[in-house]
Amino acid sequence: MAESGRHPFLQGLSKHRGAPPTVVVIFGASGDLTARKLLPAVYNLSHDNLLPADFHLVGFGRKAMADAEFRALAEAAVKEFSRREPDPEVWARVAARTSYVAGGYDEPAAYQRLAAQLAELERELGRDLQRIFYVSTPPSVFAAIIEQLGACGLAAIHRDTPLHSKVIIEKPFGKDLASAVALNAAIRGVFAEQQVYRIDHYLGKETVQDLLVQRFANAIFEPLWNRNFIASVQITVAEEVGVGSRGGYYEQSGCLRDMLQNHTMQLLALTAMEPPGSLAPEAIRDEKVKVLNAIQPLAVGPGGEVARAQYAAGMVAGRPVPGYLQEEGIAPASATETYAALRLSINNWRWQGVPFYLRSGKRLARRVSEIAVNFRRPPGTLFAGETSRFDLAANTLAFQIQPDEGLSLILNTKIPGLETRTQPVKMSFRYATTFGSNTAEAYERLVLDAIIGDGTLFIRGDETEASWRLYTPVLESWRAAGREGMDTYPAGSWGPASADALLAGAQHRWRQP
Ligand code: NDP
Ligand code: BG6
């Protein structure tokens, strides 16, 4: 069997998916993301024979390192973080094509050295390589890298055939609308939009991609997917972890910028968008932008549509943990939120009057990301009155994004017996049960998609601006208010009371996922 030994997910997938000969240059090559996600992704793609035969990797960073030192660092990272035990033969293949260039991110001479190294590589191979520049540095140097890539000709060299150079940019993409617009302008001064791949790793998650399949490959959902049948939608992205050692970054960011502006909004866009005309990247992204633009501005302040809070000391997984203000690198009077919740209204034909509740936070009771679609209740004529016999719940369709990926539907059912009594039951589908576990990580899919030129799972410039347009006034108002209006919640809980209040007016409650 030609495909023996391949994971079931890979069987039937054409090897390389048409990937052209490629060199990936990682800026920030000694960093945390490179070690934990990017190098393991490259390794696993290579393991699954999905990389082009001519695939090369170049690390770039300020840290002075010989090629051998970078290879050793990369090998250690793959050993520690790869989802599968590395096969020495596969790693040797990757390592043989891995090198390193040291230099400053704004140092023109360093880019000349990089350009010379890439030219030498192409000369040795006797062919051009597609050049992918992966910007995995702190955002403070994103613009400098873009500018230098333009100035030294690396971005423009194959401008007439855009497939030949691409840039992948990490998050956060800006810190507000003005900075996102400026970054988009800097990028567009150097690259054409189809060369640009703005990462949101949530889009690389299997279950997030499955949203489109569930919505549009099944006939039963679409007729119900609107204000006539849906009472509310709740999107939860909850983390058990605290801020850890990332206090420096997090203090400047906070939950709204770190999670809601990007990951959670992408979940909302895929849930709420209109059916795209095709699966072409632009068709899907056009629909996402339309629905993001239809969201109404948020009311901030007492009785408004947003809540923010910081975790206080509490218990997580049976052990005591400190509050946010006691964490390393956090200002004692910090006004940075570790939790945010919102009530959004989408003013279009499909969704008018249906509240979308979004929440995300660190140090919550459990790590879970889900989208719960709550349906309206049927007319209460038949099974009403006798609450002791008729325990009825609203139907809820919940997409569990992670962990324990799956889909569940809450239905009301008759309890077996001689009289009619009802009880809500959960019908579940679990990915791991049906398809097995150890599936490709988000970054594998995203790196491969960038190589083959599929931008579907990346964010377009106007999408990120639409999202910032919604959130920037909220951030400005919070900045002006300082700590006033900042709620707290015990670590290990489901969040603050002010978040419950957002739902109370409609007699809704947060689900306990
Ligand atoms: P790091 O802090 O590890 O930085 C990456 C590399 O950039 C460092 O190894 C360092 O390399 C260089 N660097 C660090 N600080 C600076 C600075 N102030 N100025 C210039 N260069 C600097 O970042 P991460 O790897 O954690 O993150 C990279 C990007 O990915 C960020 O944009 C982050 O927001 C994003 N991201 C990270 C995630 C993660 O889990 N780590 C998750 C999602 C997104 P050298 O000194 O050799 O130049
Ligand atoms: C990152 C955030 O984008 O996503 C982190 O910066 C967060 O703060 C992480 O922990 C969560 O990603 P995942 O894939 O673990 O849900």
Structural domains in the chain plus CATH codes? 8-170 (3.40.50.720), 203-504 (3.30.360.10)
Q: String of b and e for 295-331 (b: at least 16 CB within 10 Å)?
A: beebebeeeebbbbbbbbbbebeeeebbbbbebeebe
Q: What is the pLDDT of residue 6?
A: 43
Which residue has its alpha carbon closest to ligand 2 atom 2? 258
Distance 31 CA to ligand 1 centre (A): 5
Compute the distance from residue 365 Cα to the ligand 1 centre, in Å: 29
Q: Is 405 in the pocket of ligand 2 (CB under 6 A)?
A: no
Average pLDDT over residues 294-311: 95
* Alpha helix segments (H runs only) across 423-496: 431-435, 442-452, 461-481
Tokens linked to 482: 């300082």
**Residue whose pair of structure tokens reads 């946010």 in the numeric block:** 324
The partner residues of 370 in beta bridges, in order of sequence, read 236, 400
Q: What is the whole-number distance in angstroms between the Cα of residue 94 and the centre of ligand 2? A: 27
Residues in the chain: 513
Share of the chain above pLDDT 90, in %: 86
The confidence score (pLDDT) of residue 261 equals 97
pLDDT for 314 beyond 60: yes
Q: What pLDDT is attached to residue 385?
A: 74
What is the torsion angle, in degrees rounded to the nearest 10, for the CA atoms of residue 103, residue 104, residue 106 and residue 110?
-10
The residues, ordered by sequence, that sit 6+ positions from 175 with a Cβ below 8 Å of its Cβ are 139, 252, 253, 257
Choice between 128 and 265, residue whose per-residue pLDDT is larger = 265
- Is 144 a pocket residue for ligand 1 (Cβ < 6 Å)? no
Pocket test for ligand 2, best of 237, 239, 444 (most atoms within 8 A of CB): 239
* Token pair of 471 as six digits: 């959130």
Q: For residue 91, give both structure tokens.
A: 């790693």
The residue assigned the tokens 């990580």 is 441
Cα–Cα nearest to 511, from 266, 224, 233 = 233
* Cα→Cα distances 238→253, 295, 314, 388, Å: 17, 23, 16, 34
For residue 442, give the nearest of 208, 120, 239, 136 by alpha carbon.
Answer: 208
Token digits of residue 258: 């770190």
Instruction: Supply the pLDDT for residue 156.
Output: 67
Residue 10 or residue 62, greater confidence: 62
pTM of the model: 0.94
Residue 78 has pLDDT above 80, yes or no: yes
Write out the H or E segment, with its range, that includes residue 369. Answer: strand 368-375
* Strands, E assignment, 89-206: 98-102, 130-135, 165-169, 196-198
Specify whether the CB–CB gap between 357 and 235 falls below 8 A. yes
Ligand 2 contact, 170 CB (< 6 A): no
Catalytic sites, residue numbers: 263
Cα 493 to averaged position of ligand 2 atoms, centre (Å): 19
pLDDT number for residue 161? 55
Is residue 462's pLDDT more than 70? Answer: yes
Burial letters 377-392, b for 16+ CB under 10 A, else e: eeeeeebeeeeeebee
Alpha carbon nearest to ligand 2 atom 9, residue: 259
**Residue 16: per-residue pLDDT:** 53
As beta bridge partners, residue 321 has: 314
CB of 263 within 6 A of ligand 1: the answer is no
Determine which helix (DSSP H) or strand (DSSP E) holds 252, and give its type and residue range: helix 247-253
Three-state DSSP state, 169: strand
For residues 334-339, average pLDDT: 98
Q: How many CB atoms lie within 10 A of CB 404?
A: 11
Mean pLDDT of 221-246: 96
* Pocket of ligand 1 contains residue 140 by CB under 6 Å: yes
Mean pLDDT, rounded, of the chain? 93
Q: What is the β-pairing status of strands 356-361 and 339-344?
A: antiparallel
pLDDT of residue 1: 36
